[in-house]
Amino acid sequence: MDSLCPRFSLIKKPVLFTALVPLVFLLVFYFYPLGGIFIRSFMDHGDFSLTRLLKVFNSPRMAGIVTFTFWQASLSTLMTLCAALPCAWVMGSFDFRGKKLIMTLATLPFVLPTIVVASAFQALLGKGGIMAAMFPFYDGGLEGSLGAILLAHVFYNFSIVLRVTSGFLSSMGKDISQAGSMLGASPLQVFIKVVLPVLMPAITGASLLVFIFCFSSFGVVMILGGPAFSTIEVEIYRQAAHLFNLPVAAMLCLLQVLFNFLMMWLYASLQVKAAQFLPKAEGAGLKKPVSILQKLMVGLCTLFIIIFCTLPIAGLFLESLWHNGGPSLIYYRELFFNTSGSIFYISPVDAVFNSLLFALAALCMSLVTGGCAAYFIRYSNGRIGDFFDSLFMLPLSTSAVTLGFGIIITLDKPPLNLRTSLFLIPILHTLVAFPFVVRVLLPALRAIPSSLKDAAVIMGASPFRVWMHVELPIIARALSVGAIFAFTISLGEFGATLFAARPEFATLPVTIYKFLGQPGTMNRGQAMALSSILMLVTAAAFILMETVREKAGHNGF
C-alpha cells in the first residue's frame, strides 16, 4: 500500500501547476493592462497628478454622461423588474405544459449578441418596421430615442430576473407559506411578510446584475442612441478611438472599473445572504394551475413572454426579407457583391471567416485557461479555493471596451506588441469567455466521487489514465457546454472587437455596425440580413448547449 501513496497524494492534493496558466494569462492580459490604465489616469509627464481626475469631474459634459449612465441603468433595471417579476412569480409557482419551451424562449434574448439586439429594435421601431406596419398611427418616433434604449435593455435582461427569481421561488417549497396560513395569515399577508423577505436577496442580486449590464451597455446605446446619448462605456470608445484623448479615456475606464468592482462585491455579499436560506430542490414548490384565476395568470404570462421575446426577432427577420413592398432575398444576395464600389465595403464572407477563426481560437484558449482554473479551484481547500474562484471571475466585472483599451495602450511594444497581431481578438474574447467555462466545469468536477478515482488508483492506473478513463467521461458534457459558451460569446462579442480589431480582421458584429453606419436602404437591409444570420447561429448554439446540459443531468452555469 505504501507504493500507492504518491498516486493518492497526486490526486488529492491541489494540482498547483494548473494555477499557472490562468494566473499568467490574467497577469499579462488583465492586471497589467488595468495597471496601465491606472498609470495613464494619474501620471502626468512622470509625476503623480489629480489634474485629469478633476478635469473629468469639473466638465459639465462628463458630469452629464456619468449622470445619464446611472440614470438610464436605474430606469432600465426598474422597468426590467416591473416586466419580469410578475412572470417570475407565475413561473416559480406553477408547473404547466410547455413551460420549458417558454423558459428557453425567454432566455434567448440574453444570449443574443448586443449588436443583434440593437438591430432587432431598429427593425421593430424604425420607420417602415413591424410596429409601423401593425399600427398605422406610429411614425417611427422611437427610433434613436431613449425609449428604444430602455426597451432593448429590458428585452436583453428580462431573463436574468425571470430565471433567478423563479428558480429561487420554486425551490422554497410549500412549508413556509403553509406555516403562515396555519397561523391565520391571508395569502397577501403570507406573501408580504413571509415569502417576499425570503425572496429579497434573490431579487436584489438579480437587480444588481441587470444594473451592471445596463451601466456598462455599449452596443445598444451606441446604435440605438446615436450621438444624442452616451454612457461612460460609449464615451470611453469615442474619446480613445475618435478623439485620441487617451488620458480622459483612461480616467473614465478607471471610474467604471472601480464602480463595477463595488457592484460585484455587493452582489457576492447578497449571494452569501441568499445561501443562508437553504432551499429545497428546484421545482419543489411548483403546483398545477387549477382555478380559473391561476390558469388565466399562466396564460397571460405565457402570452406576454411569447410576444415580448419574439416581436423584435420577427421584426429583424421580416426587414431582412422585405424589399420594395414584397418578400425578397436581395439583401442576402447583395452581401457577396460591392455593387456601389464603396471603399468602405467589407466582405461578409471575410467577416464570417474571421468570426469563425477567432471563435475557434477563443474556444480552445478558454477551455485550456478555464479548465486549469476549475481544476485548481476544485483541488484547493477552504478560503484558498474561494479566493481564486473570485479572482478568476474578475474579467466579468470589467467591460469589454475597458479590456480592449487597456491592452491597446500597454501591450504595444515588443516582445508583446499585440496591436497588429492576429491573436489580439482571440485573447480579448478569451478574457470574456473563460470565466463562463469555469462556472460550467466546476460543478461537474465537484460532482465526481473521490471513490471512483481511488478505485482506479488501487487498480494500478496512472494519474493520466485516471483522468482519461474516469474524470473525462464524467465532465465531457460540461466541457461541451463550456466550449459552446465560449464559441457563442466570441461570435457575438462587439465592444472590445470594435475597439481593437484592424479593418482586415473585422468580425460579423463589426461588419453589421459598419453597414448600419452607412446611409441607404441597401446597407440597412444587409445589416439586418447579417444580424439574422448571426442570430440564427447564436440561437442554434444556445439550443444545442441547453440540450447537452439537460442530458448531463446537472444545471452547470
- Could you tell me which residue, 556 or 196, shows the higher pLDDT? 196
Residue 130 maps to a domain: yes
Q: Can you tell me which residue has the cell 444556445?
A: 542
CATH of the domain at 233: 1.10.3720.10
- Cα separation, 363 vs 440, in Å, equals 14
Least confident of 129-143, 261-275, 505-519: 261-275
* Amino acid found at 45: H
> Do 188 and 269 have their domain in common?
yes
The residue range of the domain holding 122 is 59-320
Question: In this predicted structure, what is the pLDDT of residue 249?
Answer: 83
> Do 397 and 280 have their domain in common?
no
Residue 103 maps to a domain: yes
> Do 420 and 547 have their domain in common?
yes
Residue 49 maps to a domain: no
The answer to whether the peptide bond before residue 312 is cis (omega within 30 degrees of 0) is: no
270, 288, 320 - which closes a domain: 320
Mean pLDDT, residues 130-143 taken together: 77
Question: In this predicted structure, what is the pLDDT of residue 7?
Answer: 41
> Do 295 and 262 have their domain in common?
yes
Least confident of 43-52, 220-229, 452-461, 476-485: 43-52
> Do 115 and 247 have their domain in common?
yes
Least confident of 322-326, 328-332, 451-455, 509-513: 451-455
- pLDDT over threshold 80, residue 51: no
Residue 424 maps to a domain: yes
- pLDDT over threshold 80, residue 138: no
The structural domain count of the chain equals 2
Residue 285: partners with Cβ closer than 8 Å, 6 or more residues away: 92, 93, 169, 170, 171, 172, 173, 174
> Do 267 and 380 have their domain in common?
no
> Do 316 and 352 have their domain in common?
no
Question: In this predicted structure, what is the pLDDT of residue 402?
Answer: 86
Residue 70 maps to a domain: yes
Question: In this predicted structure, what is the pLDDT of residue 12?
Answer: 46
> Do 233 and 352 have their domain in common?
no
Highest mean pLDDT among 171-180, 241-250, 433-442: 433-442
Mean pLDDT of the chain: 81
Question: In this predicted structure, what is the pLDDT of residue 10?
Answer: 40
Residue 6 maps to a domain: no
Least confident of 86-90, 331-335, 367-371, 527-531: 331-335
Q: Give the residue from 113, 111, 110, 127 showing the smallest Cα distance to 524.
A: 127
Residue 525 maps to a domain: yes
- Cα separation, 320 vs 181, in Å, equals 55
pLDDT, one tens digit per residue, over 344-373 is 566 788 888 899 999 999 999 999 999 999
CB distance 89 to 81 below 8 Å: no
Question: In this predicted structure, what is the pLDDT of residue 9?
Answer: 41
> Do 255 and 392 have their domain in common?
no
